[in-house]
Chain A
Amino acid sequence: MSVPINYFLVLAAALFATGAVGFLLRRNLLVLLMSIELMLNAVNLTLVAFNRIHGTDHGGQILAFFIIAIAAAEAAVGLAIVLAFFRLRQTVRSDEANTLKN
């Protein structure tokens, strides 16, 4: 008796919601990056969970690997930006990043 898919989906939804809320509410850029990782992993979880239902088709798992690769690239670029921003402003608070506004 395998774990029903609903469990996976509920867990993924919870992870995604945590990530989204974290991204919207937190002000620390490093935390924001982590929130993005959470959301991406929630999606990964959904993909592999659905892949379990379609046993012969591995599209979901392949897509999950893609997302992991992209998440790594995103983390590299994101951290570089955060570093550059810190050198400019001496802070990692996202609401200080308002050059575009004024």
Chain B
Amino acid sequence: MEERRLTRQDAAYVARLARIELTEEELDRYADQLATVLAHAAEIAALDTDGVVPTAHPLPLRNVTRPDEPRPSLDRDEVLSEAPAVEDRRFRVPRILGDVP
């Protein structure tokens, strides 16, 4: 794989996907630093992995179940006491649907 140059626009697109607001200066710096790490990734891009099964996890994962019996969960007020904003014993968030007022 060729060494890839990342532009400020590339970095801005990734930052949007990751929901992180970055300054122009940060976008330029991360574009450069990501390109450096990705250049090292090129070392493995050249390997022949045809027919190799990808490993997502070191263990053979399987479902673990327990009897479906009611039991106490986390205390609601204790959980909500750590939230940034609460209303009517629920998490409060800014407007999600519709136009910004």
Q: Do A and B come from one complex?
A: no
Question: A residues touching B (Cβ–Cβ < 8 Å)?
Answer: none
Question: B residues touching A (Cβ–Cβ < 8 Å)?
Answer: none
